[in-house]
């Protein structure tokens, strides 16, 4: 194994197998994965901060096996911040907090291509700071249908006085987020509210939308997965890479751009690669930054 020792903000970090192609189809190497996370760090770190990280590791690249890892690997460097969280079975679990660039690179060096986080921070595990609508298209429905539905959801929420933000999942669909950032919000609130929205839309657009998890409901429809609003579950973090054949980023889009893309009718245009992600983030800033600060109260329906 080849090793390189780097220093980042005074922390020593050993990087390994830098030449290995983690995305063999396009020859995208581990060095390039690390370089992506180094450059996107200022944008992704605020969204990872103080959240229990779920690693999704691809030690031999995206064409080989992967594993999810919720526990922070015990061999972590001393400067990696961790937190103890309570699992359902009452056991404590030590998780990684990606609160600085060195930790982000350490995690990327573990070939954790994808970074997944819960809707709550570890200090307030029962308080989601946002509500998510995970829009999952059932073939032949695609991301274009998701985009049109996202616009409909945005309008519906807007009539209820709520601002929303949207990102690509980097895979098949879209994630729509509603910032809340209020200490009284519970997962019961966000789950009930998002389910109500999903059920109303299913009623209004029965051919296009389903609020039901059952797979047989999905072909040709978008499943509005409201059940992701759960303390135990995660969503891929904004700016995380995805482990597809080619590296694709889960990337925030402006509503104007989403509308333009939906009208343009080319699903491939939703694919943002790492180079483009860095360039756009550096030019436009973090389109998700308000998600972390905007306070909104869920109205009673
Ligand atoms: P897509 O657009 O293709 O649906 P996605 O990221 O939304 O991509 P989903 O299958 O809809 O993928 O899952 C939503 C989220 O749930 C994921 O982003 C991930 O954080 C989490 N998740 C899904 N499957 C698992 C799993 N087996 N273990 C842990 N977390 C998972
Ligand atoms: Mn999804």
| Residue given tokens 């080849």 in the structure block | 2
- Residue 298 inside a domain? The answer is no
Task: Say if ligand 1 is within 6 A of residue 217 CB.
Answer: no
Is residue 9 predicted with pLDDT exceeding 80?
no
Q: Please identify, among 61, 89, 117, the residue that sits at the C-terminal boundary of a domain.
A: 117
Q: Identify whether residues 39 and 138 lie together within a single domain.
A: no
Q: Identify whether residues 104 and 135 lie together within a single domain.
A: no
Task: Say if ligand 1 is within 6 A of residue 171 CB.
Answer: yes
Please report the pLDDT score of residue 250 as a whole number: 99
- Residue 234 inside a domain? The answer is yes
Average pLDDT over residues 100-114: 97
Please report the pLDDT score of residue 153 as a whole number: 98
Q: Identify whether residues 207 and 173 lie together within a single domain.
A: yes
pTM for this model (two decimals):
0.97
Q: Identify whether residues 136 and 232 lie together within a single domain.
A: yes
Query: Of 263, 98, 276, nearest to 170 (Cα)?
Result: 276
Binned at pLDDT 50, 70 and 90, residue 277 comes out as very high
Please report the pLDDT score of residue 2 as a whole number: 64
Which residue out of 210, 236, 240, 241 has the highest number of ligand 1 atoms within 8 Å of its CB and is therefore the one to mutate? 236
Q: Identify whether residues 237 and 199 lie together within a single domain.
A: yes
- Residue 222 inside a domain? The answer is yes
Task: Say if ligand 1 is within 6 A of residue 271 CB.
Answer: no
Task: Say if ligand 1 is within 6 A of residue 112 CB.
Answer: no
- Residue 226 belongs to domain with CATH number: 3.30.70.3300
- Residue 207 inside a domain? The answer is yes
Please report the pLDDT score of residue 6 as a whole number: 83
Average pLDDT over residues 259-283: 96
Domain that residue 140 falls in? 130-292
Q: Identify whether residues 111 and 137 lie together within a single domain.
A: no
Binned at pLDDT 50, 70 and 90, residue 50 comes out as very high
Q: Please identify, among 84, 117, 150, the residue that sits at the C-terminal boundary of a domain.
A: 117
C-alpha to C-alpha distance for 108 and 97, rounded to whole angstroms: 13
Q: Please identify, among 117, 148, 183, the residue that sits at the C-terminal boundary of a domain.
A: 117
Question: Which atom of ligand 1 is the closest one to the Cα of 134?
Answer: 7
Q: For 193-210, how does the pLDDT look when each residue is reduced to its tens digit (9 = 90+)?
A: 999 999 999 999 999 999
Q: Which of 31-35, 86-90, 125-129, 193-197 has the lowest mean pLDDT?
A: 86-90
- Residue 255 inside a domain? The answer is yes
Question: What stretch of H or E contains 39?
Answer: helix 30-48
Binned at pLDDT 50, 70 and 90, residue 108 comes out as very high
Query: For residue 266, what are its two tokens?
Result: 């080319």
Render the burial of 98-129: b for 16+ CB within 10 Å, e for the rest. Answer: bbbbbbbbbbbbbbbbbbbbbbbbbeebebbb
Binned at pLDDT 50, 70 and 90, residue 148 comes out as very high
- Residue 84 belongs to domain with CATH number: 3.90.920.10
Q: For 200-255, how does the pLDDT look when each residue is reduced to its tens digit (9 = 90+)?
A: 999 999 999 999 988 887 899 999 999 999 999 999 999 999 999 999 999 999 99
| Residue given tokens 């020792």 in the structure block | 5
Is residue 1 predicted with pLDDT exceeding 70?
no
- Residue 299 inside a domain? The answer is no
Binned at pLDDT 50, 70 and 90, residue 300 comes out as confident
Please report the pLDDT score of residue 88 as a whole number: 82
Average pLDDT over residues 132-158: 97
The answer to whether the beta carbons of residues 34 and 105 sit under 8 Å apart is yes
Binned at pLDDT 50, 70 and 90, residue 26 comes out as very high
- Residue 144 inside a domain? The answer is yes
Q: Identify whether residues 160 and 268 lie together within a single domain.
A: yes
Q: Identify whether residues 95 and 163 lie together within a single domain.
A: no
What are the angstrom distances between the C-alpha of 242 and each of 61, 165, 168, 300? 12, 20, 11, 36
């Amino acid at each position: 194994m080849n090793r390189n020792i780097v220093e980042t903000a005074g922390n020593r970090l050993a990087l390994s197998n830098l030449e290995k192609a983690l995305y063999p189809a396009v020859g995208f190497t581990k060095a390039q994965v690390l370089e992506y996370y180094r450059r996107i760090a200022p944008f992704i770190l605020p969204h990872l901060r103080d959240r229990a990280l779920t690693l999704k590791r691809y030690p031999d690249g995206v064409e080989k096996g992967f594993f999810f890892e919720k526990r922070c690997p015990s061999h972590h460097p001393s400067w990696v911040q961790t937190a103890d969280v309570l699992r359902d079975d009452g056991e404590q679990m030590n998780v990684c907090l990606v609160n600085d660039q060195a930790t982000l690179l350490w995690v990327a060096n573990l070939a954790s291509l994808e970074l997944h986080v819960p809707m709550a921070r570890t200090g307030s595990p029962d308080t989601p700071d946002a509500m998510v609508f995970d829009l999952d298209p059932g073939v032949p429905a695609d991301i274009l249908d998701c985009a049109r539905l996202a616009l409909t959801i945005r309008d519906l929420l807007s009539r209820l006085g709520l601002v929303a933000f949207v990102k690509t999942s980097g895979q098949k669909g879209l994630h729509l987020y509603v910032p809340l950032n209020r200490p009284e919000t519970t997962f019961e609130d966000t789950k009930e509210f998002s389910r109500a929205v999903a059920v109303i839309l299913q009623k209004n657009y029965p051919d296009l939308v389903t609020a039901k998890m059952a797979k047989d409901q999905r072909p040709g429809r978008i499943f509005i997965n409201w059940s992701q609003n759960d303390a135990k579950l995660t969503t891929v973090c904004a700016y995380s890479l995805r482990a597809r054949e080619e590296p694709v980023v889960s990337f925030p889009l402006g509503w104007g751009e989403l509308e333009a893309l939906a009208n343009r009718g080319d699903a491939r245009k939703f694919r943002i690669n790492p180079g483009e992600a860095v360039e756009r983030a550096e030019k436009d800033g973090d389109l998700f930054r308000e998600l972390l600060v905007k306070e909104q109260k869920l109205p009673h329906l």
